[in-house]
């Protein structure tokens, strides 16, 4: 068994100081970290328990119309917060499409954003993986690549990021509040993640000791509440990571699209903001032809990383379907099968 020190932090400053030591890791719910430790994929010399830090488990609806979500808020608590779900329905739908109810009841929002890839080659100690062991190579290249990246990948890594939650957040310009050794700073969620390039082991811009204390959605995000959807294609209806997912939000103005927000999941090592697609739709009519043009723009740079060219066409079709559902309007109640692309809009009773 790997031995480690355990530190229960009493304040954010104490947590940052303890986690800045080499080999330290933060422990919240541990729904991903403990699996990694049990599999020998990570061996922290110190666990810094942040579960009792005061004030990090609150959902605050701000006077300007934005929302501030503490890092320790549980996924299920956020998804079922009535005010949050009404203002940000695609985010709530994404949360309810991830993992199982038991895991959502335990997992924290910051931990969700920082979960590591589910690439099977990363989880297999017998396989070469540059993310796990820099310079070892990537056995996924030339291997089973059905679920791997089609955007932003490199010869050194073709993994994807597994979070559903982060996809609509990126489309809505979420911002992280971070405390670190140099003090407090803010980082757009989209800028948190690194693409693999030649250093896939460097997954985020976080430095040793950096602690996410909250994330914020700006007041402008709520303007999309009436036309906002998240759809996810997966191998089974529940408890499965996305093959491809899409978050789409529209602000309609006089029958046209005043503004569009689109992001993709399951296609890259980060949530993929499709700004070229957004530009195609700005000022356009909400029609299938325009949705197809936007999908084409979103995937201009897509290329297979092996035997997964189907994901490009799947993503294209899912963008069109998600935009069509967003244009039709957000359901009054959460769909019975959240984020399912095949369930229609049957609702919970």
Q: Which of 174, 185, 178 is nearest to 216 (CA)?
A: 174
pLDDT at 96: 96
0.85 cut: is pTM over it?
Answer: yes
- Sign of the CA dihedral with 320 first, then 165, 190, and 172 last: positive
Q: Are 229 and 322 in contact (CB under 8 A)?
A: yes
pLDDT at 1: 61
pLDDT at 54: 95
pLDDT at 345: 58
First vs last Cα of the chain: how many Å apart? 49
Along the chain (349 residues), what's the average pLDDT of each consecutive run of 10 residues? 90 98 96 94 96 97 96 98 97 95 96 97 96 97 96 98 98 98 97 97 97 98 98 91 98 96 98 98 98 98 98 98 97 92 60
Q: Are 241 and 234 in contact (CB under 8 A)?
A: yes
* Residue 41 backbone class (left: φ over 0; alpha: ψ -120 to 50; beta: rest): alpha
Give the domain 5-52 fold.
3.30.43
Buried b / exposed e over 120-153, threshold 16 CB at 10 Å, is bbbbeeebebbbbeeeeebbbbeeebebbbbbbb
Element (H, E) at 39: none
Q: For the chain, what are the domain ranges?
A: 5-52, 55-340
Report the SS3 class of residue 53: coil
The β-bridge relationship of strands 5-8 and 46-49 is: parallel
Q: Are 227 and 326 in contact (CB under 8 A)?
A: yes
- CB neighbour list of residue 85: distance below 8 Å, 6 or more residues apart: 79, 92, 334
Which residue is listed with tokens 């038991």? 102
Buried b / exposed e over 157-187, threshold 16 CB at 10 Å, is bbbbbbbbbbbbbbbbbbbbbbbbeeeeeeb
The beta-strand segments (E) located in 171-293 are: 175-180, 183-188, 211-217, 228-234, 242-253, 256-265, 272-273
CATH assignment of 55-340, given 3.40.50.1820, 3.30.1490.20, 3.30.465.10, 1.10.10.10? 3.30.465.10
């Amino acid at each position: 068994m790997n031995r480690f020190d355990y530190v229960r932090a009493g304040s954010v400053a104490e947590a940052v100081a303890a986690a800045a030591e080499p080999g330290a890791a933060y422990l919240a719910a541990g729904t991903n970290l403990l699996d990694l430790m049990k599999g020998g994929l990570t061996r922290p010399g110190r666990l810094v328990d942040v579960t009792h830090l005061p004030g990090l488990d609150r959902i605050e609806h701000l006077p300007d119309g934005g929302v501030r979500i503490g890092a320790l808020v549980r996924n299920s608590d956020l998804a079922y917060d009535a005010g949050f779900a009404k203002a940000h329905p695609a985010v709530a739908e994404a949360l309810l499409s991830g993992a199982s109810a038991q895991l959502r009841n335990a997992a924290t929002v910051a931990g969700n954003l920082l979960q590591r890839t589910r690439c099977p080659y990363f989880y297999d100690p017998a396989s070469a993986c540059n993310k796990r062991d820099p310079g070892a190579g990537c056995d996924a290249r030339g291997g089973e690549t059905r679920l791997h990246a089609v955007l932003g990948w490199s010869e050194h890594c073709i993994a994807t990021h597994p979070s559903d939650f982060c996809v609509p957040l990126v489309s809505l310009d979420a911002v992280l509040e971070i405390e670190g050794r140099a003090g407090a700073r803010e980082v757009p969620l989209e800028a948190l993640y690194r693409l693999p390039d030649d250093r896939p082991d460097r997954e985020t811009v976080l430095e040793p000791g950096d602690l996410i204390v909250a994330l914020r959605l700006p007041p402008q995000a709520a303007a999309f509440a009436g036309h906002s959807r998240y759809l996810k294609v997966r191998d089974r209806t529940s408890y499965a990571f996305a093959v491809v997912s899409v978050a789409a939000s529209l602000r309609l103005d006089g029958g046209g699209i005043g503004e569009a927000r689109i992001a993709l999941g399951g296609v890259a090592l980060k949530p993929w903001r499709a700004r070229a697609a957004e530009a195609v739709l700005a000022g356009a009519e909400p029609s299938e032809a325009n949705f197809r043009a936007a999908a084409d723009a979103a995937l201009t740079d897509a290329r297979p990383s092996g035997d997964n060219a189907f994901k490009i066409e799947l993503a294209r079709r899912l963008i069109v379907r998600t935009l069509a559902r967003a244009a039709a309007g957000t359901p009054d109640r959460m769909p019975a099968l959240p984020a399912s692309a095949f369930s229609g809009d049957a609702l919970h009773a």
